[in-house]
Structure 1
Amino acid sequence: MVTSPENRGSRLSGERGELLHALAEQRELLLIPVRGITDAQAAQRTTVSELTLGGIVKHLARGERVWAQIMLKGDGELPDGMLDLEQYRMTDGDTLAGLLEEYAAGARATEEAVAALPGLDRSVPLPRTPWSPPETVHWSARRILLHLIRETAQHAGHADIVREALDGANSTAQR
């Protein structure tokens, strides 16, 4: 499991703790659809989308590490792997267990970054990406955390659909 009661933001009080707790809850919801599946099932496409359960976990693991780095460094540089398309699918050598370990490490990186920040108002320039506007965009650490919560919730819904198409199970009716 990615989070435990003592790792759900409870170390931090106030807004930081509340936002980390909300993110931890979304992580837990994301992990329900991957319970009890094999590596082959985690890599299997079940809809017309390219999304797989393993690919979703891999993408979110990368995302947590990348956004933690953006929050901490605050230099506007593009973190390694941020645009790597391999983050969206399981590749040879990937296992679901390994991806879940990476996701747990990404969660810890986010929590450590938030704890290390002087405040959630800290504004950082976002890295340039192909979809970026021409001007430099700045986000607060708070907005980055809200983005991570939204992204995790969105992909938890995707995971639920992918799992239901796989074997009929979902986050409310596990088989």
Structure 2
Amino acid sequence: MAANKLDTQDQAGAPAVTGERAEWLEALDKQRNFLRFTARDLTDEQAGMRTTASELCVGGLVKHVTEVERGWVDFILNGPSHKVDFMAMTEADWARRAEGFRMLPGETLDGVLAVYGEQARRTDDVVAALPDLDVTWPLPEAPWSEPGGRWSARRVLMHIVAETAQHCGHADIIRESLDGARTMG
């Protein structure tokens, strides 16, 4: 594999992240950069605009991907933290969940990108320090989880990369609808 930023020491002089971990982090960083690039030069108002029939906006997608990454890194460290009964959720519960996909009053694109950057650093640090990518936890009960399923840290990383990539595509469509700018085309 060619040398890259993950095959060298970081600024603090910590040992390099190499091998499989470096490849996972490099794949995730590529998708993160796509998402950040898609948000480039947007105003806060544009970052919160819906441009399709969907409720999604670029800023809300950044918030969502941040929350997904945070939740799955917590899962890697501690396993399932709580059980959510999706069938018993009230309209208020669903409304709070939907806020994670929108720019709320007082939020800025710079602010949500900064939180995303903080989470990215946390994820990278956790992955670098994990003693074993094969340790598994039972999946939390949810309509989209296979009953009795277990995921390893490796599988969680695969999911985070896939989730980020999927939402990069959503953000790209929204951005192109906003002003014609494209990230991936």
Output the TM-score relative to the length of structure 1. 0.85
Secondary structure (helix, strand or coil) at the match of 1:93 reads coil
Q: Which digits, 9 at most, give the CA deviation of each residue in 1:30-57, with x for residues without a partner?
A: 1111100100000000011111000000
Q: Per the alignment, do residues 105 and 9 of structure 1 end up closer, same or farther by CA in structure 2, a change over 3 Å counting?
A: farther
CA distance 1:9–1:31, change in 2 (3 Å): farther
Supply the AA of the counterpart residue of 1:132.
Answer: S
Percentage of identical aligned residues: 48
Q: Report the aligned-residue RMSD.
A: 2.3
Opposite residue 29 of structure 1, the aligned amino acid is F
Q: Which residue number corresponds to residue 16 of structure 1?
A: 21
Within 5 A, what are the aligned runs for 1:105-144? Answer: 105-133=118-146, 135-144=147-156
Distance in 1, Cα, partners of 2:51 & 2:65: 19
Is contact 1:9-1:111 (8 Å) kept?
no
Q: Does the 8 Å CA contact 1:61/1:102 hold for their aligned counterparts?
A: yes
The residue that corresponds to 2:108 in the other structure is 95
Indicate conservation of the 8 Å contact 2:65/2:164, yes or no.
Answer: yes
Question: In structure 2, how many angstroms separate the alpha carbons of the residues matched to 1:60 and 1:92?
Answer: 19
Question: Alignment partner of 1:84: what SS?
Answer: helix
Task: Give me the whole-angstrom Cα distance separating, in 2, the residues matched to 1:108 and 1:136.
Answer: 31
Residue 163 of structure 2 is aligned to residue 151 of structure 1: yes
Q: Give TM-score, length-normalised by structure 2.
A: 0.81
Partner of 1:53: 58
1:104-144 CA-partner distances (Å, limit 9, x unpaired):
111112112212321111111222224434x3321010010
Match of 2:91 in 1: none
User: CA 1:29–1:9 in structure 2 vs 1: closer, same or farther (change >3 Å)?
Assistant: farther
**Contact 1:77 1:128 survives alignment (8 Å):** no
Q: 1:111 to 1:136 in 2, by over 3 A?
A: same
CA distance in 2, matches of 1:9, 1:104: 20
The gaps in structure 1 that reach 5 residues or longer are none
In the TM superposition, residue 160 of structure 1 has moved relative to its aligned partner by 0.7
What is the distance in 2 between the residues matched to 1:97 and 1:122?
Answer: 36
**In 2, Cα distance between equivalents of 1:78 and 1:27:** 27
CA distance in 1, matches of 2:64, 2:7: 22
Question: Are 1:84 and 2:116 an aligned pair?
Answer: no
Task: Specify the code of the residue in structure 1 equivalent to 2:115.
Answer: E
- Classify 1:9/1:87 alpha carbon distance in 2 versus 1 (closer, same or farther; 3 Å): farther
